[in-house]
Structure 1
Amino acid sequence: MVKPKKHLGQHFLKDQNIAKDIVDALSADNEGRRILEIGPGTGVLTRFLIGKYADNLVLIDIDTESVKYLKKHFLDLNDRIVEGDFLKMNLRAVLGDEYAVIGNFPYNISSQIFFRILEERDKVIEVVCMLQEEVARRLVSPPGNKDYGILSVLLQAYYDMEYLFTVDASVFDPPPKVQSGVIKLRRNNQVKLGCDEVLFKKVVKQGFQNRRKTLRNALKPLNLPEEVKAQEILNRRAETLSVNEFVKLTNDIASGGNIKV
């Protein structure tokens, strides 16, 4: 067996029913599309994935011991079991066109995984994943909620998102100190946001950097144009703005010029 490694944030799911539920959450139209499993560990999800997506399944794991285990137990996938770091790999060379992502994401790098998914958003059509419950709920949180944050806005700009179910800590080896949550992201039709997307990201990050402040104060480092400073929206906090309102604000700020992106 593979020994869970603390420095990799490994907590191996033991419950086969939950594993099946996670795999079943992938949309039916993914058949024929590449499926990437991130951090398969000992293959608890892989066993169910291989029944549906055997010809299109790719596994990526950074753990050498896990890769050896997987290659021994899933011989038909041998050439599609890749040892490497998802955060740093040339994914297009491995996966090609559109693909879906599934996995039990390590708690300690789940945010980094989502930022990488955002970079690949023109290729990543769907994501079904398990991560820390608190983070999962934060990502799907709507505007006006204290859990709504930077990644909530950035992901919801490009994906339709839903919280599926909660997973108890007792079904893992070793048990984590927190509950887990399973969420689903489905790429929306938004190819372009209709604004400078680099500036959009900067406005969102700056707005939430001091989330207790109004946007008028939080966005001061951007040297807002005078006509923007007069807007009523700046009296609100970042957590109250929808994606569309952030897009409009970004366009208003860009129209004033002299903004360093």
Structure 2
Amino acid sequence: MQNVRPKKHLGQHFLTDLSIAERIAQAVKGHDGVNCVLEIGPGMGVLTDFLLKNPMELYLIDIDSESIAYLYQKYPQLKEKIIEGDYLKEDFSSVLPDKYAIAGNFPYNISSQIFFRVLDERDKVTEVVCMLQKEVAQRIASPKGNKAYGILSVLLQAFYDIEYLFTVPPGVFNPPPKVDSGVIRLTRNQTEKLDCKEKLFFQVVKAGFGNRRKTLRNSLKSFQLPEDLKINPLLDKRAEQLDVADFVFLTQQIEASRGNH
């Protein structure tokens, strides 16, 4: 079988270090009794080899037709479970079970979009173990009060417990990226839905981080804050100092004031 060429436009950096691939595969715990894992962007199957040792049922999705042809040859036993497609657009309802885990070495250029899709599918995705740009991995796992903490941190931490597992140097990839990578694990928490309107919550979080140096009093001005909320000390803080519960509280207050008009 001929090796797959890593394609720059797809953000492909193939992992070559087997011990790291094994550590990533072993970090998939099958949270909530889930028995199925979807690997995003398997490339030439370095991680796939170790995921196959896991008792969970394995599906693969890749957008690269050259990779797909290679995977068909390498894993004839997975033929029915190899999907050529874009994770961001694919409808898995007739393919995957109701609940599944995700694993993968995510392309740097679409990792944030993958997480927004995970948020949309959070009732199905119980766990994510993935490698991505270290800076993004740290941001997602970062607690409040930290410079790295941002929009994705809040939105994902609302529904997932997040652990930063380990850092991976550039030299273990072909071609080597210019930055370090980080491996994180997201585990679905008990929150089924937020105690506020979710769309408004997303808007409040995005507006709050829109200008990180401003206090929330300034960055949330456009929401016509109720008078009694304007004197709340939370508004003297910046977005990075608030946790999920604080943002839910602010959203509830804005929601309530709109209901009173």
TM-score, normalising length: structure 2: 0.96
> How far apart in 2 are the matches of 1:91 and 1:80?
11
Q: 1:176 to 1:163 in 2, by over 3 A?
A: same
> How far apart in 1 are the matches of 2:197 and 2:6?
43
Is the contact between residue 37 and residue 101 of structure 1 (CA under 8 Å) also seen in structure 2? yes
Residue 91 of structure 1, CA deviation: 2.2
Q: List aligned pairs for 1:1-261, cutoff 5 A.
A: 1-29=3-31, 33-53=35-55, 56-257=57-258
Percent identity between matched residues is: 60
Residue 227 of structure 1, CA deviation: 2.4
- Number of aligned pairs? 258
1:152-185, Cα deviation, whole Å (9 max, x unpaired)? 0000010000000011100000000000000000
> How far apart in 1 are the matches of 2:118 and 2:171?
29
Moved over 4 A (4+): 28-32
Is the contact between residue 60 and residue 81 of structure 2 (CA under 8 Å) also seen in structure 1? yes
When structure 1 is superposed on structure 2, of 214-223 and 158-167 the one drifting more is: 214-223
> How far apart in 2 are the matches of 1:143 and 1:94?
38
Residue 146 of structure 1, CA deviation: 0.7
1:92-131, Cα deviation, whole Å (9 max, x unpaired)? 2221300000000000000000000000000000000000
Task: For 1:23, give the aligned amino acid.
Answer: A
Task: For 2:99, give the aligned amino acid.
Answer: E
Residue 195 of structure 1, CA deviation: 1.1
Is the contact between residue 40 and residue 105 of structure 2 (CA under 8 Å) also seen in structure 1? yes
> How far apart in 1 are the matches of 2:238 and 2:94?
41
> How far apart in 1 are the matches of 2:174 and 2:62?
18
Structure 2 alignment gaps of length 5 or more: none
> How far apart in 2 are the matches of 1:29 and 1:101?
11
Is the contact between residue 31 and residue 52 of structure 1 (CA under 8 Å) also seen in structure 2? no
Report the aligned-residue RMSD. Answer: 1.4
Is the contact between residue 35 and residue 53 of structure 1 (CA under 8 Å) also seen in structure 2? no
Is the contact between residue 38 and residue 102 of structure 1 (CA under 8 Å) also seen in structure 2? yes
TM-score, normalising length: structure 1: 0.96
